[in-house]
């Protein structure tokens, strides 16, 4: 495993696109938190009804929620890395040169897990920095960091699926971005209000969005017409989607002509 990851590192360590997107994500997550904090302070000064979302333990959920808006940037990077291998036909060359298909798949899953770890680390660090300024007990509510990792894995497994099945990176990225920012919100709302209350929660991204609802919690509660599913149901739905997306991606790479 270490060896295949070292080779994946060789593939990206001098790839400009990789560093630009990593840099964008790294900067944008904390900046978004800073922007939200400024907005929140202004609102709270006039309407002091709510708890400080940047104090421990709420800060874990707030940073996880805000960072999730930037997670599609990492999804885009994953799509680019996967479609590059198809477009340059280097997936074929890697196998020809002596990797098994399983090693290739393992390497790409390794990249995805590495990204999840990086996102989670950034969420944790951001939470610590913002939480330290606002007070509270840092040891409480840390399970939210694990849920954040689950959310990132769900987002990235969708990107993995698209990157594996779509040959053109442009179309795959367009579908991913549209779905992440507009498509799923639209489908979830239609399912919730036109089909069955809370049925929208069983969509791939929505299940973890409702698990880590952060600042959107009040709106969600106001819009709710019945008791929502439990956090366990949300988490299990996310796990099921991760397994489904990863299984179909694995199957494609394992069986297809390259």
Partner 1 sequence: MENNQILSLHQVSKNYGPIQALKEVSFEVPAGSVFGVLGPNGSGKTTLLGIIMDVLKANSGTYQWFGQPPHQDQRKRIGTLLETPNFYHYYSAIRNLEITAAIKGRGTDDIERVLKLTELWERKDSKFSTFSLGMKQRLAIANALLGNPEVLLLDEPTNGLDPAGIAEIRELIRQLGQRGTTVIMASHLLDEVEKVCTHVAILKKGVLLTSGHVDQVLANEDMIEIGAADLSRLEGVLSSLPDVKSIRRHNGSFQVIFTEGRTAEQLNRHCFEQGITLNYLAVKRKSLEARFIELTN
The site for partner 1 (CB under 8 A) is made up of: 3, 6-7, 10-11, 14-17, 84, 88-90, 92-101, 103, 255, 257-258
Helix (H) and strand (E) counts for the chain? Answer: 12, 0
- Planar angle of CA 53, 199, 181, nearest 5 degrees: 55
Closest approach of partner 1 to the CB of residue 84, in Å: 7
Long-range (24+ apart) CB contacts under 8 A made by 99-102 are: 99/4, 101/253, 101/254, 102/254
Indicate the residue among 104 and 130 with the shorter CB distance to partner 1: 104
DSSP characters for 126-182? HHHHHHHHH-S-TTTTTHHHHHHHHHHHHHHHHHHHHHHH-S-HHHHHHHHHHIIII
Indicate the residue among 78 and 147 with the shorter CB distance to partner 1: 78
Closest approach of partner 1 to the CB of residue 94, in Å: 6
Indicate the residue among 220 and 252 with the shorter CB distance to partner 1: 252
Closest approach of partner 1 to the CB of residue 111, in Å: 14
Closest approach of partner 1 to the CB of residue 6, in Å: 7
Closest approach of partner 1 to the CB of residue 258, in Å: 4
* Spatial contact of 64 and 53, defined as CB atoms under 8 Å apart: no
């Amino acid at each position: 495993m270490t060896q295949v990851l070292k080779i994946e590192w060789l593939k990206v360590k001098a790839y400009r696109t990789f560093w630009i997107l990593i840099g964008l994500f790294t900067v944008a997550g904390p900046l978004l938190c800073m922007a939200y904090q400024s907005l929140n302070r202004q609102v709270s000064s006039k309407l002091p009804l709510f708890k400080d979302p940047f104090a421990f333990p709420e800060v874990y959920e707030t940073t996880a929620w805000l960072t999730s808006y930037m997670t599609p940037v990492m999804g885009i990077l994953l799509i680019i890395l996967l479609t590059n291998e198809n477009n340059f036909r280097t997936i074929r060359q890697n196998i020809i040169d002596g990797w098994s298909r399983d090693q290739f798949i393992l390497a790409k899953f390794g990249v995805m897990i590495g990204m999840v770890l990086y996102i989670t680390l950034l969420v944790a660090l951001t939470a610590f920095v913002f939480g330290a300024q606002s007070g509270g007990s840092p040891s409480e509510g840390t399970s939210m960091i694990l849920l954040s990792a689950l959310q990132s894995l769900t987002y990235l497994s969708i990107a993995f699926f698209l990157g594996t099945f779509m040959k053109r990176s442009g179309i795959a990225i367009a579908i991913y971005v549209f779905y992440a920012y507009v498509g799923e919100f639209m489908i979830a709302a239609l399912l919730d209000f036109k089909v069955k209350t809370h049925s929208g929660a069983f969509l791939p991204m929505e299940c973890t969005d409702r698990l880590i609802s952060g600042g959107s919690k009040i709106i969600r509660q106001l819009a709710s017409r019945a008791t929502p599913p439990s956090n366990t149901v949300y988490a299990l739905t996310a796990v099921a989607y991760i397994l489904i997306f990863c299984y179909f991606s694995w199957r494609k790479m394992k069986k297809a002509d390259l």
